[in-house]
Amino acid sequence: MQHSELLLVLDFGSQYTQLIARRVRELGVYSEIHPFNISIDKIRSLRPVGIILSGGPSSVYESGAPKPSPEVLNLGIPVLGICYGLQLIAEQLGGKVDSFARREFGKAVLHVDRDDDLLQGLDGSTTVWMSHGDALSQMPEGFEPIAHSENAPICAIRNSSKRIFGVQFHPEVAHTLQGKKVLANFLFNVCGARGDWTPAHFVQQSTKDIRARIGSARVLCALSGGVDSSVLAVLLHEAIGDQLHCIHINNGLMRNGESDEVVETFRKSYHIQLTYVDATEIFLARLEGVTDPETKRKIIGNTFIEVFEIEAKKIAGSDGAFEYLAQGTLYPDVIESTSFKGPSVTIKTHHNVGGLPEKMNFKLLEPFRELFKDEVREVGTMLGLPAHFIERHPFPGPGLAVRVLGEITRERLDLLRKADEIFIAEIRNAGLYNDIWQAFVVLLPVRSVGVMGDGRTYEYTVALRAVTSVDGMTADWSRIPSDVLAKVSNRITNELRGINRVVYDISTKPPATIEWE
């Protein structure tokens, strides 16, 4: 998609790089993340209104530290360096950066010395988030300090004529109370951005682009019922109508009533051509006796491809083959393969079923490859999808297979479905559902002794998992009130024969992952 204005974020390995891009987009300016060593020719071709240099874990004076071409600072394009980005600006333009005697990690008070351009409208003293061990000891020529903290006499700098700025703190994180104001000042006061990037603009532009690209071709879409595939199906239907055909495969690992709801909603409310396939028997037969998580994922992925391919051929029939396969690839997936950090170590196979493009003869259609998850939700709202679809928590591609630890049986799946339904119902009743990023129940391959009435029981244990997160890359456990947890536990153990113990997972990510498998 062509964008009328673009803010370029250069990635030096900061854990907050995605957050910078998200904050910029929240302010109405389209942003893209590129590796720190992007070529100058590529930068020129992108024609950004401004460039932000991210933070990073390196020290600029170390051998092998990531550095962009010095030409980046001579393009005449406004630049804002954040933390490591500030130190890069100083180092490349003749200033000095030293390992500081006292490192700063956490909240600090910023004192504003120049309250125009970058820091316009900020309070004289404001809380910011620091995360650095190095600091400027000497500014480059032509720069002046515009803010300081108790520990950093040079906490923000500028060269107004060159429109180059640097801050030692992180304006992109929520702990920097007026951080969004700093970014807005850079975008609008310094870069002169218009701020016309909105969900409405995306829907209008992408609908036009899809029509132009597809022409009269047919498009196939795997509709799981999750947020991404649901919004994708409605957007495509809006653009190309009956040239779209969706397939929903029930793998027997869905939550209670999920497949029925997907079919009902998309056939009746949206009149989308949808083929429903109940492949429960084949999936469960192939998973019988399997306990290894990676093996489960591979079996499910391969079986999905097989079933999908058979159905695609059936549907194509006399109307001719499908030329395009639509997928809900999101921007974080794209960043992961191109960022400075490179492809991340495989902790587990990705939740979403992959591999379809390699196995099948389709052209790929990925309208959301420029969007973050929250932007997809906004697009869904714009398109009129029901709130309960838009607000749904993420659900893994392998479904409940990765929440039944150990061997998968019908009995265990049924128990887990019912327990999960109780947990979700109670957090909804307590008004907590939308405050939680993801909540679910895990059935453990552990039986323990319990007492029911006058009798002894020997039954399963389930773990409740609920986390808060922005994008799933890091997560904290949700502080669900104890009375809500007590109600969930009482209902599960009283209503479900086979479970006599409920535990609550209070692990963060890292070191744990959100899902257990």
As annotated, the active-site residues are 83, 170, 172
Taking the mean position of all CA atoms in its chain, how far away is CA 140?
Answer: 37
Cα dist. 426→408, 438, 464, 491 in Å? 26, 14, 12, 10
Could you give phi then psi for residue 265, rounded to 5 degrees?
Answer: -65, -50
Tell me the H-state helices in 30-156.
Answer: 40-46, 84-92
**What count of other Cβ atoms lies within 10 Å of the Cβ of residue 142?**
13
Chain center to CA of 79: 26
- Exposure letters 123-140 (e unless 16+ CB within 10 A, then b): eeebebbbbbebbbeebb
The pair of structure tokens assigned to 81 is 């360096």
d(CA 259, CA 251) in angstroms, rounded, equals 10
Residue pair 501/459 in contact (Cβ under 8 Å)? The answer is: yes
> What residues are paired with 99 via a beta bridge?
134
Half-sphere exposure of 437 (CA within 13 A, CB side): 17
**Strand pairing of 31-35 and 7-11?**
parallel
Non-local CB neighbours of 368 within 8 Å, separated by 6+ positions = 228, 231, 232, 328, 329, 330, 331, 376, 379
- Dihedral angle at the C-alpha atoms of 470, 474, 479, 484, nearest 10 degrees? 80
Spatial distance between the Cα atoms of 99 and 97, rounded to a whole number of angstroms: 7
Residues 6+ apart with CB under 8 A from 392: 226, 227
| Distance from C-alpha of 497 to C-alpha of 112, rounded to nearest angstrom | 63
The residue with tokens 């006061």 is: 189
